[in-house]
Amino acid sequence: MVNQSKLGNSNLIVNPIGLGTNAVGGHNIYPDLSDETGKEIIRTAIKHGINFFDTAFIYGPERSEELIGEVLKEEGRRESVVLATKGAHKFVDDKIEIDNSPAFLTETVERSLKRLQTDYIDLFYIHFPDEDTPKDEAVGALKDLKDQGKIKSIGVSNFTLDQLKEANKDGYVDVLQSEYNLFKREAEKELLPYTTQHNITFVPYFPLAAGLLAGKYTKDTTFEDGRASNPMFQGDEFLSNLEKVEQVRKIADAKGVEVAHLVLSWYLTRSSINALIPGAKTPEQVKNNLKTLDVELTPLEIVMIDEIFQ
């Protein structure tokens, strides 16, 4: 498998297996996180060759960026990593609002720079679209920051096709981050063709479908978090999904690899997907994610996995 990928039209080169860091300092997402464990996750990733880190203001909030900044400064490794963060959220009277205005995006980049203890961000995403700001104006503000050297490339996240087209009117968008996995393939209809046509890297989030595509659940598994109300994890749909995962497991077993590694490897065969950001809650999971790079899928296996989930 290719061990280097170029992000869109940028000059950024990454290991195709990066690290999503919502469990590093993401105290508002996961209970009982240890900041020291979070920092060790980052150290382990760097030690084992991961150079693409994905964080966001809302992870914590703020704490994920702070912890990553601390580690990169301690390790003296800022220049050797590609650092991506996201902004658009703001707190107004203790409520979260989404703001894509040029003034706010400029302000949120400045604040992220301080938390990350760096003078540039490699990839800055607009995390969510707001309802009012023209998307080309929002991206235009990021282009100004790019011209100033404060960011090196521009991304958008959770944008519809129409919003992406508007955002990319001047060809400034390098990366789209959006939900995509073998169970949720809507992006194949419009977003993946568009990103392929315009050389925009597509970075999928939730690639393992909240653990379902990691092959770690059985029909007796019960859920007490948000999955408990998700139809994917309920009743006949859950049982049907498990059957599909078991079909993938047969292919994985024959290759001597884990289901998760097989699934992640399959994504990297899709047009415009050349980088992944699986998360990790422990240093061991970081090292395990990297085993994806050892998987070589045959053309037949690629088709077989595709057809299981059609």
Catalytic positions, please? 59
Cα-to-chain-centroid distance, residue 34: 21
Q: CB–CB of 121/151 below 8 Å?
A: yes
| Residue 122 burial (10 A CB sphere; 0-12, 13-18, 19+) | buried
Q: Which two tokens stand for residue 148?
A: 């100033």
Please report, as a single letter, which amino acid is at residue 20: G
Beta bridge partners of 93: none
Q: CB–CB of 139/168 below 8 Å?
A: yes
Residues 287, 41: Cα–Cα separation, whole Å: 9
Q: Which two tokens stand for residue 300?
A: 């037949």
Q: Closest by alpha carbon to 89, among 125, 119, 53, 47?
A: 125
- Conformational region of residue 166, where left means phi above 0, alpha means psi within -120 to 50, and beta covers everything else: alpha
Residues 64, 68: Cα–Cα separation, whole Å: 6
Q: Which two tokens stand for residue 173?
A: 């968008």
Strands 201-205 and 123-126: unpaired
